A and B are shown apart, each in its own frame.
Chain A
Amino acid sequence: QLHLQESGPGLVKPSETLSLTCTVSGGSISGSSYYWGWIRQPPGKGLEWIGSIQYNGDTHYNPSLKSRVTMSVATSKNQFSLKLTSVTAADTAIFYCARLGYCIRDVCYHGDYWGQGALVTVSS
């Protein structure tokens, strides 16, 4: 049973960089081809995929956020991280880390585990 836990500042000033880390326990990030992703949810709104990274560093970003997003993985710590630059109030949201699915040769495998979420507020 995997457990994912988000950590990072809950308050970020406008124009600064939001940084979050997800620590995975109960299994290894390197153990499979799953992607490890970040999803955000503004208060009272829907889910938006931000980006995903595989244990080997292969990354995919939401085109609408790509210019501001960087993800990295630290397999020795079983962690992956998110940096979102030049934040504004519109970036205020609950940020979830999750294990997301992957596809190989026309067959896809679903994701399943999510962290509890971390509220990040952008305000001066």
Chain B
Amino acid sequence: IQMTQSPSTLYASVGDRVTITCRASQPISSWLAWYQQKPGKAPNLLIYKASTLQSGVPSRFSGSGSGTEFTLTISSLQPDDFATYFCHQYDNLWTFGQGTKVEIK
């Protein structure tokens, strides 16, 4: 299963609402996770089962979608949120999107 994220890079300001899209090459039900990665660190789980927030993750993060179309939304971008985000399907083996880097506008 191929996972395609868009955009590859997103320029935004603190306080902006940010949306990242992930598309699967075939239906994966809701078996999708979102990870945040900062430079020099391992990816950190934000959301699983498409929309369930991992414990300890701020509520400004939310996920939606099912089947082949998924979105990650940050309702009000904070300084700590400038990072790279990956989607990850675990329905059929395991694959990752190519990543979306959120940079300061």
Q: Which residues of A are in contact with B by a Cβ distance under 8 Å?
A: 35, 37, 39, 46-49, 52, 60, 62, 96, 100-103, 108, 110-112, 114-117
With both chains docked as a complex, state the minimum distance between the C-beta of B28 and any C-beta of chain A, in angstroms: 9
Report chain B residues within 8 Å CB of A102. Answer: 90
A18 to B97, CA, bound (A): 25
Of the four ranges (under 10, 10 to 19, 20 to 34, 35 or more), the interface on chain B belongs to: 20 to 34
Whether A49 touches B99, Cβ cut-off 8 Å, given contacts A114-B43, A115-B42, is no
The answer for the CA separation of A107 and B65 in the assembled complex, in Å, is: 17
B residues near A (Cβ < 8 Å) are: 29, 31, 33, 41-45, 48-49, 54, 86, 88, 90-91, 93-99
Q: Is the CB of B96 within 8 A of A103?
A: no
Q: List 22 A-B contacts (CB under 8 A).
A: A46-B86, A46-B96, A47-B86, A47-B88, A47-B99, A48-B96, A49-B95, A52-B94, A62-B93, A96-B42, A103-B31, A103-B90, A108-B29, A108-B31, A108-B49, A108-B90, A110-B49, A110-B90, A111-B45, A111-B94, A114-B44, A116-B41
A110 touches B94 (CB 8 A): no
* Contact among A46, A49, A112 with B94 in the assembled complex (CB-CB below 8 Å): A49
Nearest-neighbour CB distance to chain A for B99, whole angstroms, equals 5
- Give Cα A62–Cα B44 distance, bound, in whole angstroms: 22
In contact, B33 and A110 (Cβ under 8 angstroms): yes
A111 and B41 CA atoms in complex are apart in Å by: 17
Could you tell me if A37 and B94 are in contact, using CB atoms closer than 8 angstroms?
yes
Is A60 in contact with B93, judged by CB distance below 8 angstroms?
yes
Nearest-neighbour CB distance to chain A for B68, whole angstroms, equals: 16
CB distance from A111 to the nearest CB of B (A): 7
Distance in angstroms from A41 CB to nearest chain B CB is 9
